[in-house]
């Protein structure tokens, strides 16, 4: 699908096969697409080339190459682009949606693991890890030093993800993560448009308007009605192929943002996704810290980073893609991930049900000059701040159902075969 000017029709022809590259490689000066990949590997499937790509390059991508009787699959280490695979008695196949695999008779698609390569022939399948998230040993560190490092690495990430564009939209709630990203993009002299969505009267709409004024950045704040949810929920379920309430509710919000960005002529959307996982932003981390100690809290945070491709990134790609926009996550940066996971959990959480959390990230935002209303904004999940959760609950009650049961019912109305195996 052509979104940016550098995009070319796919699959791309190789000397003895074909290659599909869904994604992009980021650097401080450019964003590399499929043409460069094809140029480097036109002669066929070079295992060393793809191993080095996964190991060394920063990017968001899923790769599938077919050369003679061999299939190669690869996925970026954080799983930013969706990729599923499976087999029938006759063949192997891979796709960015389960629907595509089921349509050719593969009933049980599986998620392709991030940071892996796979080589498939008629006789064998080799799946091996190349670069995967590991917990780094926590070390005692001066908070000021780590604060500056986080700030500079996030700035580098935003710069790399906007190096090919002059204007960018930001999925904006007015909270710390999206607010910090918006502040940094604006400081790079990009033409930034903030987009906030929610049910009429929701917290996020009011708060986003206030913080946008402090940032001095234009905002489109779109209030939806409860009756808008019916179509949006059905559409989201179709795109994400899942009835999980959290995924559907957040997916509705991301889909609304993508539709507005596309209408306004913006091709790239930045998000704050990943900040809560990297810097212990969820309240459950604080509860674990208080009840089980810092090691258990750190383990839970690392697990959330590893699973973010399942809970966040796949969904965000699937609901934004149909609007022909590119979604990019500055927090989903490998070096920032390594840095954040190396920090002792105590630098992000205070004992005693810490209401703010993400202490290092907050101080980084303060160091950068981000307005205090953003630096000190409490964590409020998208589905709650946007009002989508409460509105959907009301709709479910009018039908004498729980939200979970309502979404399962809507899911069952589509002609699915089986959900993906996790």
HEC profile of 147-185: HHHHHHHHHHHHHHHCCCCCEEEEECCCCHHHHHHHHHH
| Paired tokens of 54 | 């996964």
| Paired tokens of 273 | 């996704």
- Specify the pTM: 0.92
The answer on 104 and 178 residing in a single domain is no
The answer on 148 and 220 residing in a single domain is yes
Gyration radius (Cα) of the chain, Å: 21
Any domain includes 416: no
Q: Which of 103, 129, 155 is the last residue of a domain?
A: 129
**% of the chain residues with pLDDT over 90:** 73
Any domain includes 79: yes
What average pLDDT does the segment 17-42 reach? 79
CA distances to 97, 196, 204 from 200, rounded to whole Å, are 33, 12, 10
Does residue 43 have a pLDDT over 60?
A: no
The answer on 184 and 316 residing in a single domain is yes
The answer on 111 and 177 residing in a single domain is no
The answer on 160 and 104 residing in a single domain is no
Any domain includes 421: no
The answer on 200 and 120 residing in a single domain is no
Q: Which of 129, 164, 180 is the last residue of a domain?
A: 129
Q: How many residues does the chain have?
A: 422
> CA end-to-end span of the chain, whole Å?
27
Any domain includes 374: yes
The answer on 193 and 295 residing in a single domain is yes
User: In this structure, are strands 219-224 and 191-199 parallel, antiparallel, or unpaired?
Assistant: parallel
The answer on 158 and 62 residing in a single domain is no
The answer on 231 and 380 residing in a single domain is yes
- Would you place residue 69 in the very low, low, confident or very high pLDDT band (cuts 50, 70, 90)? confident
Who has greater pLDDT, 263 or 91? 263
pLDDT at 144: 67
**Containing structural domain, residue 299:** 143-406
- Would you place residue 422 in the very low, low, confident or very high pLDDT band (cuts 50, 70, 90)? very low
Per-residue pLDDT of 321-359, as tens digits, reads: 999 999 999 999 999 999 999 999 999 998 777 788 999
- Would you place residue 157 in the very low, low, confident or very high pLDDT band (cuts 50, 70, 90)? very high
Q: Which of 129, 152, 177 is the last residue of a domain?
A: 129
Any domain includes 330: yes
Edge-first strand order for the sheet with 167-171 is: 219-224, 191-199, 167-171, 268-270, 326-328
The answer on 308 and 183 residing in a single domain is yes
Any domain includes 4: no
Any domain includes 360: yes
The answer on 147 and 206 residing in a single domain is yes
Burial of 135 from C-beta contacts in 10 A (0-12 / 13-18 / 19+): middle
Q: What is the CATH number of the domain that holds 37?
A: 3.60.20.10
Alpha-carbon span 197 to 345, nearest angstrom = 32
Does residue 368 have a pLDDT over 80?
A: yes
- Dihedral, CA of residue 331, residue 336, residue 339 and residue 340, to nearest 10: 0
Q: Which residue has the tokens 């869904």?
A: 22
Question: What are the residues whose beta carbons fall under 8 Å from the beta carbon of 4, sequence distance 6 or more?
Answer: 31, 33, 164, 165, 267, 268, 326
Q: What is the CATH number of the domain that holds 195?
A: 3.40.50.620
Q: Which of 218, 179, 215, 172 is nearest to 197 (CA)?
A: 172
Sign, Cα dihedral of 68, 69, 75, 81: positive
Number of domains in the chain: 2
Per-residue pLDDT of 123-151, as tens digits, reads: 778 899 999 998 655 555 555 689 999 99
The answer on 222 and 90 residing in a single domain is no
């Amino acid at each position: 699908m052509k979104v940016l000017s550098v995009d070319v029709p796919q699959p791309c022809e190789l000397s003895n096969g074909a290659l599909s590259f869904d994604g992009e490689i980021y650097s401080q000066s450019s964003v590399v697409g499929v043409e460069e990949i094809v140029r480097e590997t036109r002669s066929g499937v070079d295992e060393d080339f793809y191993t080095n790509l996964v190991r060394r390059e920063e990017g968001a991508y899923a790769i599938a190459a077919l050369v003679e009787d061999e299939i190669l699959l690869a996925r970026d280490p954080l799983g930013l682009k969706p990729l599923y695979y499976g087999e029938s008695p006759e063949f192997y196949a891979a796709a960015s949606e389960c629907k595509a695999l089921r349509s050719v008779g593969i009933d049980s698609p599986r998620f392709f693991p991030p940071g892996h390569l796979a080589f498939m022939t008629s006789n064998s399948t080799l799946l091996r890890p190349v670069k995967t998230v590991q917990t780094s040993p926590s070390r005692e560190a001066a908070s000021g030093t780590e604060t500056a490092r986080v700030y500079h690495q996030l700035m580098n990430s935003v710069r790399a993800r906007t190096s090919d564009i002059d204007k960018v939209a930001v999925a904006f709630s007015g909270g710390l993560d999206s607010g910090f990203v918006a502040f940094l993009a604006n400081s790079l002299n990009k033409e930034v448009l903030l987009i906030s969505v929610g049910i009429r009267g929701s917290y996020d709409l009011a708060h986003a308007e206030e913080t946008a004024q402090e940032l001095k950045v234009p905002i489109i704040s779109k209030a939806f009605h409860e009756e808008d949810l019916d179509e949006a929920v059905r559409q989201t379920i179709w795109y994400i192929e899942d009835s999980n309430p959290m995924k559907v509710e957040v997916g509705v919000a991301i889909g609304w943002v993508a539709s507005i960005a596309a209408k306004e002529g913006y091709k790239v959307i930045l998000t704050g996704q990943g900040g809560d996982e990297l810097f212990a932003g969820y309240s459950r981390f604080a509860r674990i810290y208080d009840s089980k100690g810092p090691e258990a809290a750190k383990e839970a945070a690392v697990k959330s980073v590893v699973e973010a491709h399942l809970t966040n990134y796949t969904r965000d790609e699937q609901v934004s893609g149909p609007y022909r926009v590119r979604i990019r996550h500055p927090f989903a940066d490998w070096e920032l991930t390594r840095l954040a996971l190396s920090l002792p959990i105590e630098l992000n959480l205070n004992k005693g049900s810490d209401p703010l959390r993400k202490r290092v990230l907050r101080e980084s935002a303060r160091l950068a000059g981000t307005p205090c209303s953003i630096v000190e904004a409490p964590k409020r999940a998208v589905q709650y701040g946007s009002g989508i959760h409460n509105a959907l609950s009301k709709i479910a009650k009018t039908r004498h159902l729980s939200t979970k049961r309502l979404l399962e019912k809507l899911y069952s109305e589509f002609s699915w075969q089986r959900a993906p195996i996790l």
